[in-house]
Amino acid sequence: IHQPSGGAQGQASNIEIQAREIIKTKEIGARILADNCGQDFDKVMKDFDRDYWMNADESLAYGIADQIID
* C-alpha–C-alpha distance, residues 9 and 70, integer Å: 46
Cβ(65)–Cβ(59) below 8 Å: yes
Domain boundaries, the chain: 12-62
Q: What is the mean pLDDT of residues 49-60?
A: 96
Share of the chain above pLDDT 70, in %: 100
pLDDT tier, 6 (very low <50, low <70, confident <90, very high otherwise) = confident
DSSP 63: T
User: Which pTM does this prediction carry?
Assistant: 0.81
The per-residue pLDDT for range 19-52, each reduced to its tens digit, is 999 999 999 999 999 999 999 999 999 999 999 9
